[in-house]
Structures are given as structure tokens and as C-alpha cells.
């Protein structure tokens, strides 16, 4: 069936290119760039299983069969400035491949390297019934360990377990899956789970039942998550957030195998467990969803409507925007409280703490601390060494990231490696609204002098122009993250704010 279709495409494509060449001849005197040389298309394939192959196409033809990981090239010379578009024609046995970078564009005056990432197909697993609810059920365990990636040890990644079910799953219906090693992140809002960490028989419906599949691109500073948007009931501790839009990272919305170019133009695409160091991200940040304006304005590298013809930038209904699961809880929904113990200078080989849902809604989550109101973008300011920085408190940052040229760097990294124990450092946090300010004393230890197997440590590194209070800020503190517009405690100051 494919071979017939291919030959049909090839004939059409050949005709197209003949026509294109004719048109080029008629352009006359255009930019020298259109004719000055030949560009080439190379493909870097990772994750391809042994003894299998993937068939790629350029512009619907020019088939390239790749049977091993590494770099291959499309046959033939390509004319600079002509458009190209790389797609997957035939998936390998046992894996699904996605074009993750440079999927389309015009041939540059150089070799263009197209990235293709293959992920093992998910397999069926034993689904479970929805977990029991409890009262109060507003807490769950936070654990720091080496993480889920075989052969790799993560550091300063706080993990939680959650359970997802198809919306409306009742009682003893065996339709749910518990996923561990999900990164707890106060710096983003919304649940994102790796497709490759989910069972094939877990059936979560598209967020857009009556129309095209919805794709989402979420740029982070270090990489981009891409995937489809589906609905789930999310069990957190002993509570459930029902019918919540979540992102499935690495799923191919509408079967589209190429990551949209505007998405991959914001950073490296992270759709594997190895890249994330987690099975997903539980975003419990300051906002009720991950994009307010995406329901009224088309934003590049955000939401897409996807059909077999590809993904196009699109607005989505407000109810389809990926939502902070805490906001969707029936109670205890105004924010979260995170408690983690202190960590010694040599680091800790294991660490556990507690995530509470709600602020001031139960006896276990009373607000005890100073409130630092953020601006509409979730930032406060930090004064360090006489300079004022935009700052935020973020369990999803695995260090304290700030610029201090007086602290030595570890060789070949941007982490700090002070040669001797630094005296405690000092900074001042100031609320974005109001005059609340307070000193913060913190320490930075050398990444290279931690005890073997440390998974939690007071480490830091160079930053951007932000001051980023990452996970070490949480050690030995109770930190509150309050959702925008929701009084926390009830009747009190509304978020967005951090308190500690």
C-alpha cells in the first residue's frame, strides 16, 4: 500500500520540481542566493532500535531509509533557498520517530542538520482503579533520589507520584495508571507526562473531541516540551482534580511526526526520559493555567491545531488550555506548601519532604511566614552585591542561579566550585507589590566536592540576568506558592505570591 502511494507522490514531486526549475529560469536576476550553490540535507537519528529502519522523506518524496543511529544524508544536491520539509513516511518496528529540529525551512548555504528522535513504543500495562479519596487528603510525599533514568543520577529534582485516569472513571473501573518520578515544579503551571512513560492501554481522550487534535509547545530555558493535549482526572494525595487538560510530551498530535518549526526554533526538543530526568513535570506554580492569552491570541510556539496535513498555530478554548491541577481541586485549591529538610554541606544521598495542597485551608497548611507578592509574571526582586535582579522561587531549578564573578567555576561547567567553604552569602528579597523585604542567608558548596551519590545539595551556578532561587532555597524552609486571584488563606491575601 505504501509503495503504491510513494510512487504516486514521487511522480507528482518530480513534476513539481520540473515546474519549479522552469519558474526559476524565469525569475531572472534574483538574489544570488537562489543559485549560488548547493545545500545538503543531513539527518541525525537517535533512539532507533537495532535491526529496524525508518523511512524519511523530503517534500513528500526523495525517500531516505535510515537503518542505524547517527548521521545520514539525503541523496542528491539541493538548491539553496528552495523549501524543504522532512517527514517520517514509515515508522520503525517497535518505536515511533519524530522530527525534532529543522523539520522544514529553506535550504541554507550550508549543510542543514535535521534531528530525528525515536522513542520505544509504549506497551500495555496493568491499569488500576482510581485510588481512594481521604479527608483531609491534601498532602503527598516529595522524594529526592537518583531519578528514573538508568545509569544517570539526578540532583535536586524533587519527585512526586500521581495517578491519572480517563475523565469520569468510577469506583472499581481498572483504567488508571500511577506515575512516579514526576518533577514537582513551582515555576510552571500544568501537568506534563512523558508519553513513553505511559501504558499503551491508558486511554486519555483529546481535549478537543469534536475537532482537530491540539498540540502544545512549551519552551523552557534549557529545552522545549512538545506533545498533545488530552484530558485526565488527576489524583493528588487523597484528592482528585477532574477533567483537567494536560500535556503528553512526545505524543504526536493528530499523528503529526514533525515538531513545528517555530517550536524547535526556541530550543532543543526534550521528549525523552533521559532529557527530562523525570517521567513528567507537575507544574504547581502561581497561575491557574499555562497561558491566559492563548484563548484569544495566536501565539507562536504555543498551541496548535493538528490534522494529518500538519500542525498550525491556533487559539484554543479557555477550557482547553493546560491547567494547574491544584487550581482544579474541589478544595485546597488556592496554592501549595512545600516542606523539605535542611541539607548538609556534603549533600544528602536521599531526602524526603511533604507537598501540601491548599494554604490555610486545613490544620496542616496554615500560613506561617512572610508574604512576597509577585507581579503578573510571577517575579519579585532580589538585591545581591548591590545589584537588583528580577527573581523567582522555583522548585524546578536544580540550583541557585545568579551571577557572581568572584565565585570560582567548576572546570568546563557553569556551576560554582568554591575552592574552600564560602561564608554564608546574603541577599534581600523584595515583594513586587508593596514594600515587604527580608534578608536571605544562603550557602553555595562546590558541585565537585559533594559526597558520592548526593541527590540534594546547596549548589548553584551562573545565571541569566535573573536571580533564580532554585530548590536549595526550599531546604529547611516551608515555602508557600499561592495561585493568582485566590485568597490564601480563604479571606486573606490573594495570590500570586510566594511566602516563607
Partner 1 sequence: MHTQYMNETPNAAAMNNSPLWLLMVAAICYAAPALAVLGGDAASVETDRLQMKVAQAASQMPAASGSYTVHETILPTGTRVRQYVSKAGTVFAVTWSGPFMPDLRQLMGTHFDTMIARQAQNKHAGRRVYSQHDPDLVIESGGRPRHFVGRAYLPGALPAGVTGQDIKQ
Q: Cβ neighbours of residue 33 under 8 Å, at least 6 residues apart?
A: 80, 81, 109
Strand partners for 178: 163
Which residue lies nearer to partner 1 by CB, 319 or 377?
Answer: 377
* CA distances, 486 to each of 454, 480, 491, 494 (Å): 38, 13, 9, 5
* Alpha helix (H) residue ranges in 87-161: none
Which residue lies nearer to partner 1 by CB, 136 or 212?
Answer: 212
- Could you tell me the smallest distance in angstroms from the CB atom of residue 310 to partner 1? 4
Identify the three-state secondary structure at position 295.
helix
Which residue lies nearer to partner 1 by CB, 59 or 69?
Answer: 59
- Could you tell me the smallest distance in angstroms from the CB atom of residue 348 to partner 1? 16
* CA distances, 207 to each of 169, 195, 299 (Å): 16, 16, 19
> Would you state the cell numbers that stand for residue 281, as one nine-digit string?
513535570
> Would you state the cell numbers that stand for residue 13, as one nine-digit string?
514531486
Which residue lies nearer to partner 1 by CB, 240 or 256?
Answer: 256
Distance, CA of 417 to CA of 21 (rounded, Å): 58
| Three-class DSSP labels, 224-258 | EEEEEEEEEEEEECCEEEEEEEEEEECCCHHHCCE
- Could you tell me the smallest distance in angstroms from the CB atom of residue 308 to partner 1? 6
- Could you tell me the smallest distance in angstroms from the CB atom of residue 352 to partner 1? 21
Which residue lies nearer to partner 1 by CB, 63 or 364?
Answer: 63
Strand partners for 482: 335, 497
Among residues 248, 261, 157, 172, which one has the least CA distance to residue 471? 157
- Could you tell me the smallest distance in angstroms from the CB atom of residue 82 to partner 1? 7
Q: How far, rounded to the nearest angstrom, does the alpha carbon of residue 491 sit from its chain's CA centroid? A: 34
Which residue lies nearer to partner 1 by CB, 363 or 452?
Answer: 452
* CA distances, 480 to each of 141, 310, 429, 468 (Å): 16, 41, 15, 16
- Could you tell me the smallest distance in angstroms from the CB atom of residue 304 to partner 1? 12
- Could you tell me the smallest distance in angstroms from the CB atom of residue 217 to partner 1? 9
Which residue lies nearer to partner 1 by CB, 307 or 364?
Answer: 307
Which residue lies nearer to partner 1 by CB, 238 or 494?
Answer: 494
Residues 433, 438, 441, 444, Cα dihedral to 10°: 10
- Could you tell me the smallest distance in angstroms from the CB atom of residue 109 to partner 1? 9
Q: Cβ neighbours of residue 168 under 8 Å, at least 6 residues apart?
A: 233, 242, 243
Which residue lies nearer to partner 1 by CB, 299 or 366?
Answer: 299
- Could you tell me the smallest distance in angstroms from the CB atom of residue 17 to partner 1? 9
Which residue lies nearer to partner 1 by CB, 65 or 464?
Answer: 464
- Could you tell me the smallest distance in angstroms from the CB atom of residue 358 to partner 1? 23
> Would you state the cell numbers that stand for residue 217, as one nine-digit string?
509547545
Strand partners for 113: 42
**Phi/psi of residue 414, nearest 5 degrees:** -110, 20
CB 59 within 8 A of CB 78: no
Amino acid at each position: 500500500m505504501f509503495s503504491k502511494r510513494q510512487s504516486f507522490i514521487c511522480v507528482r514531486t518530480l513534476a513539481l520540481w520540473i515546474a519549479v526549475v522552469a519558474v526559476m529560469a524565469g525569475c531572472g536576476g534574483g538574489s544570488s542566493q537562489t543559485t549560488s550553490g548547493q545545500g545538503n540535507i543531513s539527518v541525525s537519528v537517535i533512539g532507533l532500535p537495532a535491526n529496524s529502519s525508518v523511512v524519511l522523506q523530503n517534500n513528500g518524496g526523495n525517500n531516505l531509509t535510515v537503518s542505524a543511529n547517527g548521521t545520514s544524508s539525503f541523496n542528491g544536491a539541493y538548491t539553496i533557498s528552495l523549501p524543504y520539509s522532512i517527514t517520517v513516511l514509515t515508522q520503525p518496528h517497535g518505536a515511533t520517530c519524530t522530527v525534532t529540529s529543522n523539520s522544514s525551512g529553506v535550504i541554507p548555504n550550508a549543510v542543514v542538520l535535521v534531528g530525528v528522535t525515536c522513542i520505544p513504543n509504549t506497551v500495555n500495562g496493568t491499569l488500576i482503579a482510581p485510588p481512594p479519596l481521604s479527608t483531609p487528603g491534601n498532602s503527598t510525599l516529595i522524594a529526592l533520589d537518583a531519578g528514573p533514568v538508568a545509569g544517570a543520577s539526578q540532583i535536586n529534582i524533587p519527585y512526586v507520584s500521581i495517578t491519572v485516569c480517563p475523565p469520569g472513571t468510577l469506583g472499581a473501573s481498572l483504567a488508571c495508571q500511577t506515575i512516579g518520578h514526576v518533577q514537582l515544579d513551582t515555576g510552571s503551571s500544568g501537568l506534563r507526562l512523558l508519553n513513553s512513560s505511559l501504558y499503551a492501554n491508558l486511554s486519555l481522550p483529546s481535549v478537543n473531541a469534536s475537532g482537530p487534535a491540539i498540540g502544545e509547545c512549551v519552551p523552557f530555558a534549557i529545552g522545549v516540551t512538545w506533545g498533545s493535549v488530552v484530558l485526565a482526572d488527576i489524583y493528588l494525595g487523597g484528592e482528585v482534580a477532574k477533567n483537567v487538560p494536560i500535556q503528553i510530551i512526545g505524543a504526536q498530535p493528530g499523528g503529526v511526526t514533525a515538531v513545528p518549526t517555530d517550536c524547535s526554533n526556541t530550543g532543543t526538543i526534550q521528549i525523552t526520559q533521559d532529557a527530562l530526568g523525570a517521567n513528567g513535570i507537575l507544574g504547581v506554580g502561581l497561575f491557574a493555567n499555562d497561558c491566559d492569552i492563548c484563548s484569544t491570541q495566536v501565539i507562536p510556539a504555543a498551541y496548535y491545531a493538528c490534522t494529518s496535513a500538519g500542525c498550525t498555530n491556533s487559539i484554543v478554548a479557555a477550557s482547553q488550555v493546560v491547567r494547574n491541577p491544584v487550581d482544579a481541586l474541589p478544595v485546597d485549591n488556592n496554592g501549595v506548601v512545600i516542606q523539605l529538610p535542611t541539607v548538609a554541606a556534603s549533600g544528602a544521598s536521599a531526602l524526603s519532604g511533604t507537598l501540601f495542597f491548599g494554604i490555610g485551608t486545613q490544620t496542616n497548611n496554615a500560613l506561617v511566614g512572610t508574604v512576597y507578592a509577585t507581579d503578573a509574571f510571577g517575579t519579585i526582586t532580589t538585591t545581591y552585591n548591590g545589584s537588583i535582579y528580577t527573581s523567582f522561587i522555583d522548585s524546578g531549578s536544580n540550583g541557585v542561579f545568579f551571577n557572581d564573578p568572584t565565585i570560582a567555576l567548576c572546570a568546563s561547567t557553569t556551576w560554582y566550585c568554591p575552592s574552600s567553604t564560602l561564608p554564608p552569602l546574603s541577599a534581600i528579597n523584595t515583594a513586587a507589590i508593596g514594600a515587604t523585604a527580608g534578608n536571605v542567608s544562603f550557602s553555595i558548596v562546590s558541585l565537585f566536592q559533594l559526597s558520592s551519590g548526593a541527590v540534594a545539595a546547596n549548589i548553584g551556578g551562573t545565571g541569566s540576568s535573573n536571580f533564580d532561587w532554585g530548590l536549595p532555597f526550599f531546604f529547611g524552609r516551608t515555602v508557600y506558592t499561592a495561585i493568582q486571584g485566590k485568597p490564601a488563606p480563604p479571606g486573606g491575601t490573594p495570590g500570586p505570591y510566594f511566602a516563607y
